[in-house]
A = this chain, B = another copy of it.
Amino acid sequence: MFSQRAIEALKKEGFKITKPRKWIVEFLENNTSHPSAVEIYEQLRSKDKSFSFATVYNTLDVLVKSGIVRQISTDPKCSRFDPDLSNHGHFYCNKCGAVYDIFDIDINFNELKGKVEEYQLNLFGICEKCLKGGN
């Protein structure tokens, strides 16, 4: 479902509540695989053929600006999106390309130039599933 948090965040920024915005938030909030724009596009296309890439990117931009989802730069091939705003990192599997959440992280950076608005921790390696020959 479309969370109350998202509705209020959109309204607070003066954005309208539209079908693409509802659908994309809903899809992301029910998904822990950090979908890319292409994956979001394909999923929504399967529900409504009149869905465009421009809308996906416009919508994601609005959702990021509203603080509803976060854009992560873990995948070297494309941007991915995460509705979990809590302090956590991401593990990218160099073999299968999956992105996993990593909690229990503790970071201290002392040398601070400029104003930090956000930080991301990306781990790269081979995931459990691939190590076991699953993929």
Q: Which A residues are within 8 Å of any B CB, using their own CB?
A: 71, 73-74, 76, 79, 89, 91, 93-94, 100, 102-128, 130-131
Contacts and interface: CB of A to CB of B under 8 A. Distances in A.
B104 A123 contact: no
A116 to B, nearest CB: 4
B109 A119 contact: no
Interface SS of A by simple majority = strand
Contacts of A105: 107-110
Contact of A107 (B91, B100, B107): B107
Contacts of A115: 125-126, 131
A24 B130 CA distance: 34
A126 B116 CA distance: 7
Given A73-B122, A119-B122, 6 more contacts: A71-B76, A89-B109, A102-B111, A106-B108, A109-B121, A121-B121
B124 A119 contact: yes
A118 B125 CA distance: 7
The 9 A-B pairs at the shortest CB distance, nearest first, are namely A114-B127, A104-B110, A117-B125, A116-B125, A106-B108, A104-B111, A119-B123, A118-B124, A113-B128
